[in-house]
């Protein structure tokens, strides 16, 4: 008997243009993660990562989207991939941008933290929470893909 076809990954796309969209996408991502079988804490961590990525789209991307993919084939027990894609300029220096208290040019002046509305720890948090972190950039924009295994 032939192997039954693997279920196709479920894909949900969320456009991200304003802070209101960030609230929607992180809430939906959290709900999807819980439905998919992630624990409450892990689902909250995923929601925080989604929130950081989507906030960066609003801050630095011209326009973008967050795609949440529920893939039962990922890893040993399945996983959730989150792709944050935007048409903004590429990250100038990813290694620096991933450091806490930095944007992609270097450390953020503490007196500017409030005016910037951020601590510069967003990407660091994403990196800490996610099991896999990938960055791609092309002519039309950039994408960060993170995976949370079940």
Alpha helices in the chain (DSSP H): 19-36, 40-60, 94-97, 113-116, 122-129
Helix (H) or strand (E) holding 79: strand 79-86
By CB under 8 A, name the one of 33, 47, 130, 144 that touches other proteins.
47
Q: Which is nearer to other proteins, 52 or 65 (CB)?
A: 52
Q: Which two tokens stand for residue 109?
A: 């002046």
Task: Provide the 3-class DSSP secondary structure of residue 6.
Answer: coil
- Give the range of 2-10, 67-75, 124-132, 135-143 binding other proteins by CB under 8 A: 124-132
- According to DSSP, residue 146 is labeled E
Q: Minimum distance from CB of 4 to other proteins (Å)?
A: 36
- The mark string for 93-112 relative to other proteins (x by CB under 8 A, - otherwise) is -------x------------
Count of Cβ atoms closer than 10 Å to residue 135 Cβ:
15
DSSP result, 80-120: EEEEEEESSPPPS-HHHHTSTTEETTEEPPGGGHHHHTS-S
- The mark string for 53-92 relative to other proteins (x by CB under 8 A, - otherwise) is --x-------------------------------------
Q: State yes or no: residue 117 binds other proteins (CB under 8 A).
A: yes
List residues binding other proteins (CB under 8 A): 20, 23, 26-27, 30, 40-42, 44-45, 47-48, 51-52, 55, 100, 113-114, 117-122, 124-125, 128-129
């Amino acid at each position: 008997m032939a192997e039954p076809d693997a279920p196709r990954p479920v894909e949900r796309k969320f456009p991200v243009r304003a802070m209101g969209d960030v609230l929607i996408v992180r809430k939906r991502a959290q709900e999807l993660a819980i439905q998919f079988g992630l624990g409450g804490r892990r689902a909250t961590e995923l929601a925080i990562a989604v929130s950081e990525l989507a906030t960066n789209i609003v801050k630095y991307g011209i326009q973008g989207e967050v795609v949440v993919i529920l893939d039962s084939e990922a890893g040993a027990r399945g996983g959730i991939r989150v792709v944050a894609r935007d048409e903004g300029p590429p990250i100038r220096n990813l290694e620096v941008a991933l450091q806490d208290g930095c944007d992609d040019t270097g450390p953020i002046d503490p007196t500017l933290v409030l005016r910037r509305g951020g601590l510069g720890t967003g990407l660091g948090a994403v990196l800490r929470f996610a099991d896999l972190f990938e960055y791609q950039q092309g002519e039309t924009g950039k994408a960060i893909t993170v995976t949370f295994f079940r």
